[in-house]
């Protein structure tokens, strides 16, 4: 479930370095931005924030949580995607394995004989001694 925008805004404020203080039922930043204490404690329980007494602060996991919350609904995949469009209008994910990209080519990257040599499966001695396609 996507977190509320006000909560994401509050957590981004924590990333600036200033801790928030507990005032009643809310944690409040210096600029007046506030978030319910129960929500902040839930984030602290999963390791996104650090809560020590009446103060809460960002930690090493905070920026990843903010990034994923902004990329919702395809959070994990979108975080690691690097899209590029070529001159023909084909969009490719540059972070993808090169073997996947080669797999889309019209001509195979490796010939059948070379593939069987590399994998060591079902290659006769004649094929091993002959040159690949």
pLDDT score, position 47? 92
pLDDT score, position 104? 56
- pLDDT lower than 50: segments of the chain: none
Q: Is the pTM of this model over 0.75?
A: no
- Summarised one tens digit per residue, pLDDT across range 71-102 is 666 656 666 777 778 788 877 777 765 655 55
With CA atoms as reference, report the closest residue to 8 among 62, 61, 79: 62
Burial class for 117, CB neighbours closer than 10 Å (0-12, 13-18, 19+): middle
């Amino acid at each position: 479930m996507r977190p509320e925008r006000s909560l994401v805004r509050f957590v981004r404020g924590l990333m600036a370095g200033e801790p928030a203080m507990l005032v009643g039922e809310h944690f409040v930043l210096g600029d007046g931005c506030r978030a319910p204490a129960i929500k902040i404690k839930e984030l602290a329980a999963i390791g996104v924030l650090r809560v020590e007494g009446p103060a809460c602060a960002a930690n090493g996991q905070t920026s990843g949580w903010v990034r994923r919350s902004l990329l919702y609904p395809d959070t994990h995949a979108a975080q690691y995607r690097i899209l590029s469009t070529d001159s023909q209008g084909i969009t490719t994910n540059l972070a993808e394995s090169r073997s996947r990209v080669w797999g889309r080519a019209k001509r195979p990257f490796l010939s059948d004989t070379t593939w069987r040599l590399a994998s060591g499966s079902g290659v006769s001695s004649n094929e091993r001694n002959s040159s690949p396609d």
